[in-house]
Chains A and B, each alone.
Chain A
Amino acid sequence: MPQENPFQDPLRFERRVPPCAVVIFGANGDLTKRKLLPALYRLAYDRRLAPGFAIVGTSRTPLSDDQFRDKMKEAVAAFSEDTKLDEDLWKTFAGGLHYVAGDIGDAALYQRIGEKLAHLDQAHQTGGNVLFYLSTQPSQYALAAQGIGAAGLQHGAGWRRLVVEKPFGHDLASARELSDRLHEVFDESAIFRIDHYLGKETVQNILAFRFGNGIFEPLWNRRYINHIEITAAESIGVEGRGAYYQEAGALADMIQNHLLQVMATIAMEPCASFRATSVRDERSKLLRSMKPMTPDEIRQNSVAGQYGPARIGGEDVPGFRQEPGVNPASTTDTYAAVTLSVENWRWAGVPFYVRTGKRLPKRVTEIAIHFNQAPLAIFEGELADGTPNLLIVRIQPEEGISLKFLSKRPGAGMKLRPVSMDFNYGSSFGERSPSAYETLLLDALLDDATLYTRQDMVEASWAVVEPIQNVWREESVDFPNYAAGTWGPDAADAMLARRGHTWRKP
């Protein structure tokens, strides 16, 4: 009797999900409609899901199975960017969609979910495998986990896993408390903390670029790298999320999770294998090597900003305080820039400049690695002192990698000019890239936690970010301090200028 599937062909067959059910808490919410259902439908479109795959949606709104299916069909049609809604396929997919209404704090809801799962196990042969997805308000995470635990749904004939969306707490203490509550029900190995940035193809490509090639890693250290910039700029404002956003702010919403994870990926030590534990150990180690700053250091090495009104492209754009749902005296940061340092042999003395903001001139996320200048300038002219080499990893849009270096201008004399050597992800691989949620959902269903955040990483990130939050809370900044459509407050430029650096204009 074979222990494994005898008919595998990993070179040609895509990874496939075993029979299972996904229970989505907050099934009537935006995330479910915009991201989760389109991603799951796409997995079905790509024939990645097992025939009996089932989804149980749950939220407070009373809906029948058919009403839920209709809503989800609308969502898939509206938010699947590059997947057409195939009626035949939808019929099969919708056959696996079920709905259970109820209050997340009501024990009866979990009894009904348990009965539904038992029924699905019989009807769809899900093998008792269940992935619980918490797509609710963060304040309900612990409640939902405990409801699952009280009903005994964390155990069954097959595997049981829990996916949690960020934020993972709002400071170190709340992150630990949330973790403790989740651990009362689920083992850490069954908890998947999703950070959709890590699911982006180009973020994953950082690992391929660094550890699949031999030429970059020898340069990847303080001897050759002068400083690193990580930028995540958005051109839009809070777009109706003002009420949520003013509780979070740019530092907590972006840097604490997404950008520190990106930084950990770009700066971590090579891992011994591409197994989840190995990769996550190295990411975690890097985050724990980051030096939490003293209040004085924070004043020197961090800048909070908030956008004010401006006129962009002939249109008046409101400031943050004028956005709907935002307190007119809000002191929330819509821009955050931080100089971070990593205390290990590889990176000692190399500043990592991390910035993010809303209403910046363009939407761009990139990592710029500035190499040291040539040790001796032997050429004459305006670039005689050398323009440092620059490696740009573009995460979005136009994903790719560029290397900037000096080249001789054609003609007499030895005049140099910078040129760019580009690798464009879209042109070298014209095939469609899966969305971050497709990648991450597939990974969770296949028990691959490589791209998921572990609790020790969450705590290490908060250990760096929380002292900054505390100082910012204590010291009032005169907001707004940058106009919408600009690259942030002047103080952010001054922060780099103290080390003789300037922000790159992506």
Chain B
Amino acid sequence: MAAAPPEKILKDLADLWVTEGKQEVGEAAHGVLRACTMTLIVITEDREDPADLGETIAALMPEHPARTIVIRLTGAGERSIAQRVFAQCWMPFGQRRQICCEQVEITCSDASLGDVPSVVLPLEVPDLPVFLWCRSPRLLGMAEFPALAAMARRVVVDSGALADAPAALRRLADEAAHGMLLGDLAWTRLTRWRQTLAQIFEDPRHAARLTGPARITVCDAGAVTTQALYMGAWMAGALDAAGIGATVHIRTKAQETFAELECGDFHARLERQDDHLVATVDGLSQCTLLPKPDDYLLLREELGIVHRDPVFSSTLASAARFAYATD
């Protein structure tokens, strides 16, 4: 069985900086600057393209410099765990000094998952936030998940990758109720939609027309998805907080992606049309670009939130209640 003692990894990390420093010699040397604002633990399947993940992490580092610990799950097999360390460096435009972040890669079989916390916990950078990005949907259902999640202050998952949306939301709501600080990329994908809806009500004349009761209709390409449930729950929750009752309808027949709010004679609709988001209020439309957000953009937003996200927390709880109703 291969092993990855944390002392060895820590020594490799220290040696890494000595090596990086030695590469910068001579009069033109400006040294290497180590940057770190967090520990980012990424759990992924070994079969996933390492280049894709590598590019995402490299893109994140200038904005969220981190000691990144990538745990690759090799699946079934005997207990095995292995590691390597390397640096992720870049040269900011117009500057002469390289900035580098550390990356540790640990490969382990399912049977060794229980050993992972004992390897990873000593590697976390003290006093800085720890994020866990769980890219493996099957891990959420495994017995080891709570122990792995407990290594981090905040756990980011993607409920959109799970087959049964109502069940996924109930599971996440349950974890949140037990104190896990969660982020969900399915929720992050809604930020542009939510922001566009909020912008409509920056005009107080529109807000003044919300005299209730309201009807909310959400459709996500004809399926009950966690995104559709989140959107409906968030809109209803926001209106409820403003004293306006609302009913939520998740449409599963139309092959469209939209969210609609009707309140008396007020009517607002957000609709995806190819790469655009069209916001229509009382028949007047405005079109903005809505490119499909990639992992980099989604993680960039999530890593900026260190503490509890109150709007997400309350939406998750009510979306899980909707999920019961849709069963």
Contacts and interface: CB of A to CB of B under 8 A. Distances in A.
Contacts of B94: 397
Nearest to B64: A430
Q: A4, A8, A127, A430: which has the most chain B beta carbons within 10 Å?
A: A430
A478 to B, nearest CB: 39
A429 B62 CA distance: 7
Nearest to A125: B203
A424 B100 CA distance: 13
B211 interface: yes
A2 B92 contact: no
A13 B200 CA distance: 13
Contacts of A9: 194-195, 198, 311
| Interface of chain A: mostly helix, strand, loop or mixed | loop
A6 B239 contact: yes
Nearest to A424: B33
Contacts of A429: 63
Contacts of B99: 424, 427
- Chain B interface size band reads 35 or more
Interface string B228-246: 0000000100110111100
Nearest to B37: A428
8 contacts: A11-B305, A12-B195, A16-B198, A18-B203, A88-B289, A428-B37, A428-B65, A430-B61
Contact of A5 (B35, B201, B288): B201
Contacts of B92: 426-427, 430
Contact of A6 (B61, B191, B241, B289): B241
A9 B231 CA distance: 13
Contacts of B203: 18-19, 50, 125, 127
A141 B16 CA distance: 60
B33 A6 contact: no
Given A5-B201, A6-B207, A11 B309 contact: yes
Contacts of A18: 202-203
Interface residues of A, number: 32
A5 B92 CA distance: 40
A345 interface: no
| 10 A-B pairs with the lowest CB-CB distances in the bound complex, closest first | A430-B62, A2-B242, A6-B242, A7-B198, A427-B35, A5-B201, A427-B99, A430-B63, A6-B238, A431-B63
Interface in A1-52: 1-9, 11-13, 16, 18-19, 47, 50-51
B184 to A, nearest CB: 13
Contacts of A89: 289
Nearest to A430: B62
Interface of A: 1-9, 11-13, 16, 18-19, 47, 50-51, 88-89, 125, 127, 397-398, 422, 424, 426-431
Interface in B129-144: none
B51 interface: no
A12 B311 contact: yes
Given A6-B210, A127-B203, A12 B301 contact: yes
A50 B286 CA distance: 11
Given A16-B202, A47-B288, A424-B33, A7 B63 contact: no
Nearest to B309: A11
B310 interface: yes
A398 B207 CA distance: 45
B256 to A, nearest CB: 22
Q: A3, A9, A13: which has the most chain B beta carbons within 10 Å?
A: A9
B208 interface: yes
Nearest to A398: B95
